[in-house]
């Protein structure tokens, strides 16, 4: 876990992009029933692990990103670039 955090610190997104780590799949319902892993969909929520500095407009003014590291966000079903760092099992997604 600690090694993963240091890898994310080395990977800094550019412009208005953010790195998002998906939340783990739910395998147990609130009623206590366990779901088989093949029937669960990819979760549509995640946590921001790295944020770019922001985007510049035509005049060169920097507009900082409103998100910060640790924020919980909802993800679209499609989109984002999947990034796998080293031999880690965790995958992160790069969104704009």
Note down pLDDT in tens along the chain; length 96 residues.
445 555 555 678 888 899 998 887 777 777 877 777 665 566 788 999 999 998 999 998 999 989 999 999 998 888 889 888 766 677 789 998
pLDDT for the residue 80 = 87
pLDDT for the residue 13 = 86
SS3 6: helix
SS3 65: coil
pLDDT for the residue 73 = 92
- How far is residue 51's CA from residue 68's CA, in Å, rounded to a whole number? 6
**Tokens of residue 51, six digits:** 């944020």
Domains of the chain: 18-25+38-95 (2.30.33.40)
pLDDT for the residue 88 = 65
SS3 7: helix
């Amino acid at each position: 876990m600690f090694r993963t955090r240091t890898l994310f610190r080395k990977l800094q997104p550019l412009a208005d992009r953010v790195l998002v780590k998906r939340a783990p799949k739910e395998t147990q319902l609130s009623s206590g029933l366990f779901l088989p892993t093949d029937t669960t969909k990819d979760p549509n929520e995640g946590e921001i692990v790295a944020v770019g500095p922001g985007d510049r407009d035509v005049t060169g003014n920097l507009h900082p990103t409103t998100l910060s590291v640790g924020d919980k966000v909802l993800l679209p079903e499609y989109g984002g670039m999947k990034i796998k760092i080293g031999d880690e099992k965790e995958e992160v997604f790069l969104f704009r």
